Structure 1
């Protein structure tokens, strides 16, 4: 890379760090090309981005951002992953790490909070944003369903009483 390419890379990464809420740092030492491609596909399916970056350039891009605390993790062959949904990145990385011992999660940052590998694993155990939205929607809809059931119950009981009287009269 020449200087202009390096400068453009640092600027693009700084822009990414300004827009995202979570950055994961992982060590990818010894991963095959097929494994990296598989991980990229899984990350893309989860709505995340996975990028192998030069540590020095990534550190420069981190300077002045809220993720500056993860700079010490950038040693050796590292990769960065990020997404709008922090749980999606963490889940995908933790699942991939379970099946591939050469992929090691070093840590990450959620906003200004730095996370170690255990913190990332704990984040991966949380429900995803879509799951939380569905649960919230279910909670909102439940009272409406109960109200409709309560309102309909007296009318149903009245109809059953009238039917019972009609059956009694017919007999």
Structure 2
């Protein structure tokens, strides 16, 4: 697909647990259903095939609608690096690429998360419209990941998430 613009979202988070524990939360379906694009109380599907070329799928049910997120694993190097694609087919056929890097720290681990967000301009958009859309996708994605990473931190550090949906 041509005419696609990209913005990059990078976020860093620290966890009071080993990188292995955080890495597992990205791949273990029982953990994924508690924080990854879904919550335990609203999750309908959490499945994955955690190998290069394998796929993952999450279906979350909110306000009477199913929201489906899917992707493919491009690189898996436990517990340091995970690269995968991400798309929500009901909104766009464009795939984003997400890279998760983990490193051991004195307190536990540091995660650096990078998402390449792709936006296809609509037919009548000006450059200003495109820049506005890129900004909205970036801030909307950042807001969503902030909420997810709060749940991820609680899950890996305590074993559960207090808000269940």
The question of a shared fold, defined as TM-score above 0.5 by the shorter chain, is answered with: no
Higher helix share: 1
Greater gyration radius: 1
Higher strand share: 2
Q: Give the TM-score normalised by the residue count of structure 1.
A: 0.24
Q: Give the TM-score normalised by the residue count of structure 2.
A: 0.25
